[in-house]
Chain A
Amino acid sequence: MAARKSTAKKAAKPNVSAEELLTYYREMLLIRRFEEKAGQLYGMGLIGGFCHLYIGQEAVVVGLEAATKEGDKRITSYRDHGHMLACGMDPKGVMAELTGREGGYSKGKGGSMHMFSKEKHFYGGHGIVAAQVPLGAGLAFSDKYKGNDNVTFTYFGDGAANQGQVYESFNMAAIWKLPVIFVIENNQYAMGTSQARSTSTPDIYTRGEAFGIPGETVDGMDVLAVKAASEKAVAHCRAGKGPYILEVKTYRYRGHSMSDPAKYRTREEVQKMREERDAIEGVRQMLLTGNHASEEDLKAIDKEIKAVVNEAAEFSKESPEPALDELWTDIYA
């Protein structure tokens, strides 16, 4: 994991409170347990189609969300379960959408890749690689037009970073000074193609330089580093200085989707990352070594999270399938 040029990495640690660390621990653990459960339900045939798990990348969205305020918006790709949980959407509604039930956020009509929450300012959930990038710039455009200081977090992967519309968006975001943070979640594989084989520059954020957009890379396995970088980017956008790019170097432990055997990387590579760099384990060690929490405290949290996830799973199984007349609703407003 090469997070060179990580400017924010260590600086924030001394100031972090036990309460804050516990919050991140809880939020990251919720995502991981939720995704593990989703994988299990997929295996049981309760979730169908495409299902892209976020396991391994938890620190990215949790760290970024740590710097948000009410009114800020977020939009992402199809690997979206973590983002929804991190912005406070109900795990029950998310899981029930995965199972295609009436109680899901989109009443079962969106699925894993297409969920939204107006209340939490979560704008999807988009299945066409990079299409969410101009959409995110457009959300930022709407806030600038209305004259507020909200910021839009526009997430996309290293694979999406090779789509032309990303650079069309960079250009317009720069000339119109849109309050948008482009978050490149670089998990190093665009489906099965490694970054080295697909991307001309090792540090994707440097592509922003051509548009005059400042950016930096961040260690995405370190939630505190991500949070510090997020605060810096948010301050830039809120001050009306235009867009900012954060390239967060991360790693997904699972395949691209449930049907991906992941033959393009070695078992050892994944194992090494899990053992040496896991973000949740990192926070866990910080909590223990700093005497912020005991093993018992953390076990209690684990238990609590497990209960939330089990409750979501139960809800997603019990919630009925949508009524057949739902087929014909929500086509036109």
Chain B
Amino acid sequence: MATEILMPALSPTMEEGTLAKWLVKEGDTIESGMIMAEIETDKATMEFEAVDEGTMGPILVAEGTEGVKVNTAIAILLEEGEDANAVPATAPAAEAAAPVEAEAPVAAAPAAAAAPVISVNLEPDYPEGTAMKTQTVREALRDGMSEEMRRDENVFLMGEEVAEYQGAYKISQGMLDEFGDKRVIDTPITEHGFAGIAVGASFGGLRPIVEFMTFNFAMQAIDQIINSAAKTLYMSGGQMGAPMVFRGPNGAAARVGAQHSQDYAAWYAQIPGLKVVMPYSASDYKGLMKTAIRDPNPVIFLENEILYGRSGEVPDLEDYTVPFGKARIWREGSDVTIVSFGIGMQYALEAADKLAEDGISAEVVDLRTLRPLDYDTVLASVMKTNRCVTVEEGFPVASIGNHLSAVIMERAFDYLDAPVINCTGKDVPMPYAANLEKHALVTTDEVVAAVKQVTYR
């Protein structure tokens, strides 16, 4: 019986890809293990191997097609003797695909929700009428770094697989070609060592950008980040410090287990001497990265793997920067303030949409930087709405939300009509099972429920 060949998921966070090239044609004999096609994910071009034997039937998705969703039928595989017009057995294929789809919505759904909200940015960091271009977060980050490297020859990028491999998550794609191996430097797998070397290089007058393949690995290097980078300016009485950026994906990706899924926002935000950035939108990724590179202090730049492939509108300006310490109000509201940052924003914005359907008007504040933190914007909003819910993926104890709750209590106690609720990740190591992982992270439903609780609905 004929079967459908489905677009495969080739990375933990892949939602769609480009069918770059077919390496087989209709009528070819297919053996298992044969390379059938080249598929471009957001990170790399991968070879797609056949699993079953048979004869190649009609190709349903032509090569060069972009944005092919995972689990779309891309071709038909015929059994021996079958003719090309045989009806494919869609039913079993769809059934097999179902659980995969069920695992995906955490990542898949919000893209649509986030997109329309972009236009509701109330405090743009660029002049009205600025031309915009659509870019992925990945491209915005690369452009931000590349622009700064063109501007200042003391800026360089180092990390594991940043150069020849083009970045483990393809952030530094093309940078080796442009800047050469003096400025785009592959390191051995030795986080503690190369973080220390980068801090030393910054003492010596350079402006390093250190890519950690993920911030989970930066725990190997955290002594150099905190004891050497963050404290030297103070310990030297202002004589020398560490003007540099530590960057990389932070927090949960998808199904990568406990050791690769931690959100370090609250950890780094606690350290005087560091600046901590955790952007959500593509334009902020670019504008904040440029600001981070120019900042004369050590900056922790917390990215998110799931966001890398998301597109957004980025101002098409020669030199677009976003200041630190300025929150962004994504939508105005009057009943409750939802404060979040980084990927937490997708839950905040989704919840705000759902709440609007119930007639609850939520104001959504994106902190963007956690140190410095824009307390004034948060407090002004809470004084207006009299209610607050915080949203983040990190652990609940000593979270950013805990800290904000305390500040709001100290400085706006009389304005509160309800206790502040913190929506966070659960107090457990990240489980692998799809259903457990989804539950371990903060969910939109939890945000909606928290808002209903503080608004007594």
Contacts and interface: CB of A to CB of B under 8 A. Distances in A.
Interface of A: 73, 75, 104-110, 114-118, 123-128, 131, 133-143, 145-146, 164-165, 168-169, 171-172, 175, 329-333
Contact of A138 (B197, B232, B238, B241): B197
5 contacts: A117-B239, A134-B199, A141-B197, A145-B182, A169-B193
B239 A116 contact: yes
Given A118-B240, A172-B193, A330-B238, 10 more contacts: A105-B236, A116-B239, A116-B240, A131-B227, A135-B196, A138-B203, A142-B205, A169-B196, A330-B236, A333-B296
A116 B242 CA distance: 14
A332 B295 CA distance: 10
A139 B205 CA distance: 9
Q: Which 3 A-B pairs have the closest CB atoms?
A: A138-B200, A134-B196, A168-B193
B190 A171 contact: yes
B192 interface: yes
A136 B68 CA distance: 50
Given A131-B223, A330-B238, A332-B233, A139 B190 contact: no
Contacts of B296: 332-333
Contacts of B237: 104-110, 116, 330
B200 A135 contact: yes
B129 interface: no
Nearest to A102: B237
B272 interface: yes
Nearest to B194: A172
Interface in B92-122: none
Given A141-B200, A333-B296, A110 B236 contact: yes
Interface of B: 154, 156, 182, 187-188, 190, 192-206, 223-224, 227-228, 232-241, 243, 272-273, 275, 296-297
A29 B413 CA distance: 64
A134 B203 CA distance: 12
Given A114-B236, A171-B193, A330-B234, A141 B224 contact: no
A288 B18 CA distance: 84
Contact of B204 (A141, A164, A171, A333): A141
Contacts of B194: 134, 168, 172
A178 to B, nearest CB: 8
Contact of A141 (B190, B201, B227, B273): B201
B204 A143 contact: yes
A115 B227 CA distance: 14
B193 A125 contact: no
A329 to B, nearest CB: 7
A332 B241 CA distance: 9
Contacts of B233: 330-333
A133 B196 contact: yes
A325 to B, nearest CB: 13
A146 B238 CA distance: 24
Contacts of A136: 200
B297 A169 contact: no
A142 B236 contact: no
B239 A118 contact: yes
A330 B200 CA distance: 19
A246 B198 CA distance: 24
A295 to B, nearest CB: 42
Nearest to A73: B204
Nearest to A119: B239
Contacts of B206: 141-142, 145
A116 B232 CA distance: 9
Contacts of A105: 236-237, 239
Contacts of A330: 233-234, 236-238
Contacts of B275: 332
Contact of B193 (A107, A114, A165): A165
Contacts of A131: 196, 223-224, 227-228
Contacts of B193: 134, 137, 165, 168-169, 171-172
Contacts of B182: 145
Contact of B192 (A110, A123, A165, A329): A165
Given A126-B228, A145-B156, A165 B196 contact: yes
A171 B201 contact: no
Most buried by A among B232, B240, B296: B232
Contacts of B196: 131, 133-135, 137-138, 165, 168-169
Contacts of B240: 116, 118, 123
A331 B273 contact: yes
B70 to A, nearest CB: 39
